[in-house]
Amino acid sequence: MMDAVGNPQSILLLGGTSEIGLATVEAFATDRPLRVVLAGRASTRLDEARTRLEGRGCAVETLDFDAVAVDTHASVVDKAFASGDVDVTIVAFGLLGDNEEAWTDAAKAVELAQVNYTAAVSVGVLVGDKLKAQGHGSLVALSSVAGERARRSNFVYGSTKAGLDAFYSGLTEALRPSGVTVTVVRPGFVHTKMTEGLKPAPLSTTPEAVAEVIVHAVRVKQELVWAPAPLRFVMSALRHVPRPLFRRLPL
């Protein structure tokens, strides 16, 4: 159960090696040790994540989870909720892909769409069902500012995040009467393994900073947040820039 000051007791991280996801779990765990379920593809990185959290006093369980294998999602989510209520669920898996490859190679484009959108929708439905039954809980989905307006340099990824964003924004309303808070998080450029070697965009940030935004959002039940916060106003302006000008912007 979440307590009066917003401390959760259990967290499910879908995308168990996500740097933002892990930073968020660690941020919650600084105050109190948690029960953590890490769902991800079995790998040394997943084992390392487990060790790292156990070092912080958390009780960690790992579950084999493959985003593309949509058929297996129901059993993964069942297992994740088998040992008790889950207070916070973070949907953190995703692929960035290479935009030039993705928009010219159908298979690559479909893979991005499946992981970032289809799989996210699938777990959203399944986790939403569990949260509805338990009558409380927080569901955090990692969207992206890339989904707010498609850019030439990043539109395949952006389109998948736009889909995710719309789905979870709607889910926010659908689950509200059941006592569940859904939070859509729109980070800007985050320095992670995913963006290694890419030229950072203005207002770039770190997984730890995004984690802080998420922790606060969960505690005060915000439903839509940007990381860093000023991106909200930047994106709000960018959405209205006329196309001829927008395409000349160095984004």
Partner 1 sequence: MTSPASETRTLHGWGRTAPTVATVITPRGPDDVAAAITGAGTRGIIARGLGRSYGDPAQNAGGTVLDMTGLSRIHTIDADTGLVDLDAGVSLDTLMRRALPFGLWIPVLPGTRQVTIGGAIGADIHGKAHHVVGSFGNHVVAMTLVLADGSVRELTPEGPDEELFWATVGGMGLTGVVVRATLKLHHVETAYFKVDTEQIGTLDELMRRQTEDDEKYAESVSWFDAVTTGEHFGRGLLTRANHAVLDDLSPKQRRDPLKFDAPQLLTVPDVFPPGMLNRWTGKAFSELWYRKSPTKLGAVQNITQFLHPLDIAGEWNRAYGPRGFLQYQFVVPLDRDDVIREVLSLVTAAGQVSALNVLKRFGEGNRAPLSFPKPGWTLCLDIPIGPGLGELCDELDRVVLDAGGRHYLAKESRTTPEAIRRGYPRLDEWRKVRATVDPEGVFASDMARRLELI
In the complex, which residues of this chain contact partner 1 (CB under 8 A)? 1-7, 9, 31-32, 84-85, 132-136, 177-179, 220
Look up residue 137 and give its amino acid: G
How far apart CA 116 and CA 223 sit, in angstroms, is 20
Please say which residue, 112 or 175, places its beta carbon nearer to partner 1: 175
Residue 27: CB minimum distance to partner 1, A:
13
* Residue number, 2 or 126, with CB nearest to partner 1: 2
Nearest-approach distance from CB 65 to partner 1, in angstroms: 24
Place of tokens 């980070």: 187
Q: Which amino acid is at 214?
A: I
Number of residues that make up the chain: 251
Structure token pair of residue 158:
């952006």
117 is catalytic: no
Candidates 28, 65, 117, 157; catalytic one = 157
Closest to 63 in 3D by CA, of 85, 86, 42: 42
Q: What is the dihedral of CA 154, 156, 162, 168, to 10 degrees?
A: -120
Smallest gap, in angstroms, from Cβ of residue 148 to partner 1?
A: 28
* Interhelix angle 73-80/119-134, nearest 10 degrees: 40
Rounded least distance, CB 248 to partner 1, Å = 42
Tell how far CA 39 is from the center of its chain.
13
* Smaller CB separation from partner 1, 57 or 202: 57
Q: Which is nearer to partner 1, 5 or 106 (CB)?
A: 5
Contact (Cβ atoms closer than 8 angstroms) between residue 11 and residue 25: yes
Catalytic residues: 157
